[in-house]
Amino acid sequence: MDKVKVSDKLLLSVEKPARYTGGELNSIVKETARLRFALCFPDVYEIGMSHLGSRILYEVINSREEYACERCFAPWPDMEKVMRENNVPMFTLETRTPLAECDIVGFSLLYEMCYTNILTMLDLAHIHKRSADRGENEPIIVAGGGCACNPEPIADFMDAIMIGDGEDMIMEVCDAVLAAKEAGLSRRDTLKKLAAIRGVYVPAFYEEKRGDNGEYMGVDKTEPSAPDKVERRILMDLDRAQYIKKPIVPYIPIVHDRIALELFRGCTKGCRFCQAGFIYRPIRERKMETVLKAADELIGCTGYDEVSLFSLSSGDYSHIHELVPQIIDRFSSEHVSVSLPSLRIDSFLKEDLERMQSVRKAGLTFAPEAGTQRLRDAINKGVSEDDLLRAVGDAFSSGWNGVKLYFMIGLPTETEEDILGIAELARKVSALFYSMPKEKRGKGLRLSVSASSFVPKPFTPFQWEPQDRKETLIEKQKLLKSALKGIRGVEFSYHEPDISVLEAVFARGDRKLADALERAWELGARFDSWDEHFKLDAWNAAFEQTGVDPDAYAHRRREKDEALPWDHIDSVVTKEYLVRESERAYHAEVTKDCRLGCNGCFGEKYATYCKIN
């Protein structure tokens, strides 16, 4: 194994050379291993090192003595430039092994706008970008993560894609690849072994069907042993699952520079726009004893002084009111603070907020999502204006003066009244703060109002809905910005509509997008989620040159009975349930929280997954 040589001169010529050096506290270095896994995150180091899932898999794979898992992150454009100029191949941080010499190269698919970075990393590694072009001696390229639920836009570039929870599945993938390697099996026979693992999708064993007019008509299997539908893998017992015992401590600040404790997976609320709320079902909680044990170990081996209680909706954890004070009391001498990054506005947390601010006040974020009760009911948010005002009032009276409110524009059934309702809510929150006696509130309100654009996502009740066109989104942003003017303490931010439209294209796309993706990359598309790097001209040219109509993916309403590119992926929640929820949205009918009784989203086949009843 030849290590990649990266000179000090090269590193000093780029921004933040510590992104590429490795050697951090608690990183795991194995010079020899029977199987080497390159864990690749297709975004910059600071974001990748903040991803809890990647950290878990790093520790899971390295827990086996014969396996070495090493990290690799997308090089920032300055680093890509000097790597190409100096013929430096893509390498791992732990041992500077070229990616092309690893047995498995695995990518995290967390955001559609990172897909071009995958091509950059493969190209710099001198690995063929398309699975069909790879030779017998090239690594097996795999992927997993939230975006894997619709793998088709990236399918031509992947040998295998893991659908669902990865802790057990990734070890079975490693076992299969190692067995195939040591038995001298061909690449195709290795892929057959992978396809036999529950939750693993091998795109080469399926081909798209097209109608006379080129319309998508589903897939046909080309390998008889492959499953008809690939079932999402679900890890039911989180208490037996691996958690991070010795997290790597970066040399440079990262986005989430703190200890992250996962309380549970899944969500019981059923917000109709929220993909995570459906593809991570059912709800599975860790015992409080497990969480506290992890906190003890992590604080002891990292030096961090902040603990983030991480989940889709941390305030819904069954033992949240016991856990928060216990962590604060247990680590009071180390001045460890607790943050709840994802609070529901119907969570009763006043006492916890007061305890949390006794150490340090981290930011508080609430997500009303919509400006009127009618629209909140249509999206099944299940909260009221009174809930919001009570929650922020509790925060203000507990000493907070900085609050973020997240909204979404372009939601199905939205009207101008709903847009203006966002400003009205912000006005009421501001008035509530300034109505309090000065001695009972902080100095100066900092109320951040953020409005993202609705993106229809697979496996949600809104997967058939069209996205608003760019021009409509811009008009709505202008209307909201104007309505927010003059409200004390308010700062307004919103997402670039071009990026949101491209996200919708790839969220609902099929394999025709592979050519457009590769062409956009050839034209310079990189780091598409970063406003300063997003190249709209490159994407427009790529779509035109490859004959792809982005409007057909983002802005067309899908019929309930038409074939969808992700129909051969079984995400466990039934399509019948999603159709029913879609219809309830148009009547603004709320579906109860699953914790109050099962709503039957899994159907009979997977009923045993639901532990509610």
Here the CATH number for the domain that contains residue 284 is 3.20.20.70
One DSSP character per residue, 437-454 reads -GGGS-SS-EEEEEEEEP
Report yes or no on 579 lying in a domain.
no
Residues near 248 by Cβ (< 8 Å), separated by ≥ 6?
A: 24, 25, 26, 27, 49, 55, 58
- How far, in whole angstroms, is CA 154 from its chain's centroid? 16
The amino acid at 131: S
pTM assigned to the model: 0.95
Q: Are residues 226 and 274 in the same domain?
A: no
Q: Are residues 264 and 322 part of one domain?
A: yes
Which of 289, 290, 288, 298 lies closest to 331, judged by CA?
298
Question: Is 363 in the same domain as 463?
Answer: yes
Q: Please check whether residue 526 lies inside any domain of the structure.
A: no
pLDDT for res 359:
47
pLDDT value at position 363?
62
Predicted local distance difference test score (pLDDT) of residue 306: 85
Q: What share of the chain is helix, strand, coil (3-state, %, to 5)?
A: 40, 15, 45
**Is there a domain that residue 132 lies in?**
yes
Residue 122 placed within a domain: yes
Last residue of a domain, one of 495, 528, 550: 495
- Which of 479, 495, 511 marks a domain boundary? 495
Going by C-alpha positions, the residue among 266, 330, 350, 318 that lies closest to residue 572 is 266
Give the number of other Cβ atoms within 10 Å of residue 395's Cβ: 25
Compute the average pLDDT of residues 252-262. 89
Residue 567: how many CB atoms within 10 A of its CB? 15
The residue type at 137: N
Number of domains in the chain: 2
Average pLDDT, the chain: 93
Residue 62, pLDDT > 70, answer yes
Same domain, 169 and 86: yes
Q: How far apart are CA 497 and CA 478, in angstroms?
A: 12
Task: Choose the final residue of a domain: 440, 464, 495.
Answer: 495
- Would you say residue 566 lies in a domain? no
Residue with the bigger pLDDT between 169 and 256: it is: 169
* DSSP assignment of 84-146: HHTTPPPB-TTT--BGGGSSEEEEE---GGGHHHHHHHHHHTT--SSGGG--TTSPEEEEESG
Query: What band does 391 get if pLDDT is binned at 50, 70 and 90?
Result: confident
The answer to whether residues 31 and 152 belong to one domain is yes
Residue 521 belongs to a domain: no
Measure the CA–CA gap between 572 and 280, rounded to whole angstroms.
10
Average pLDDT over residues 265-287: 94
Give the tens place of pLDDT for each residue, 189-244.
999 999 999 999 999 999 999 999 889 999 999 999 999 999 999 999 999 888 78
β-pair partners for 381 = none
Q: Indicate whether 265 and 205 sit together in one domain.
A: no
Residue 551 tokens read as: 């409007």
Q: What is the reported pLDDT for 613?
A: 47
Residue 299 has pLDDT above 60, yes or no: yes
Parallel, antiparallel, or unpaired for β 160-162 and 200-201?
antiparallel
Q: How far apart are CA 220 and CA 568, in angstroms?
A: 10
pLDDT of residue 612: 58
Q: How confident is the model at residue 575 (pLDDT cuts 50, 70, 90)?
A: very high
In a domain, 148, yes or no: yes
Q: Would you say 521 and 156 are in contact if contact means Cβ atoms under 8 Å apart?
A: no
Residues 323 and 392 in one domain: yes
Instruction: Report residue 348's pLDDT band, with 50, 70 and 90 as the boundaries.
Output: low
Tell me, yes or no, whether 100 and 42 share the same domain: yes
Lowest-pLDDT choice from 31-45, 123-137, 385-399, 466-480? 385-399
- The sign of the dihedral angle between the CA atoms of 118, 252, 47, 106 is positive
Give the separation between CA 76 and CA 388, rounded to whole angstroms: 40
Residue 205 contacts residue 223 (beta carbons within 8 Å): yes
- Asked if residues 259 and 303 have their Cβ atoms less than 8 Å apart, the reply is no
Cβ–Cβ under 8 Å, residues 141 and 100: no
Dist. CA 503–CA 497, nearest whole Å: 10
**Letter string b/e over residues 447-459, b meaning 16 or more CB atoms within 10 A of that residue's CB:** bbbbbebbbbbbb
pLDDT above 60 (res 361): no
User: Do residue 359 and residue 313 come from a single domain?
Assistant: yes
Separation CA 71–CA 55 (nearest Å): 10
Cα–Cα distance list, 12 to 231, 251, 299, 472 (Å): 47, 16, 33, 45
Q: Between 302 and 487, whose confidence is greater? A: 487
Average pLDDT of 503-525?
98
Identity (one letter) of the amino acid at 203? P
The mean pLDDT value for 90-117 works out to 97
Main-chain dihedrals φ then ψ at residue 596, nearest 5 degrees: -90, 5
User: Do residues 309 and 446 share a domain?
Assistant: yes
- In this prediction, residue 354 carries a pLDDT of 57
Residues 326 and 475 in one domain: yes
Q: Which residues pair with 449 in a beta bridge?
A: 405, 492
Q: What is the CATH number of the domain that holds 140?
A: 3.40.50.280
In Å, what is the CA distance from 605 to each residue of 216, 265, 504?
28, 21, 31
pLDDT of residue 541: 98
Q: Which amino acid is at 152?
A: E
Cis before 98 (ω within 30): no
* Residue 181, domain extent: 8-231
Q: With 50 as the cut, is the pLDDT of residue 310 above it?
A: yes
Residue 338: pLDDT band by 50, 70, 90 thresholds?
confident
Residues paired with residue 73 on neighbouring β-strands, in sequence order: 41
If 0-12 CB within 10 Å is exposed, 13-18 middle and 19+ buried, where does residue 535 land? middle
Residue 160 within any structural domain of the chain: yes
> Which alpha helices (DSSP H) does 436-496 contain, by range?
470-484
Structure tokens, 243? 């958690």
Based on the domain organization, do 286 and 163 belong to the same domain? no
Rg, C-alpha atoms of the chain: 24
Give, for 48, the enclosing helix (H) or strand (E): helix 45-48
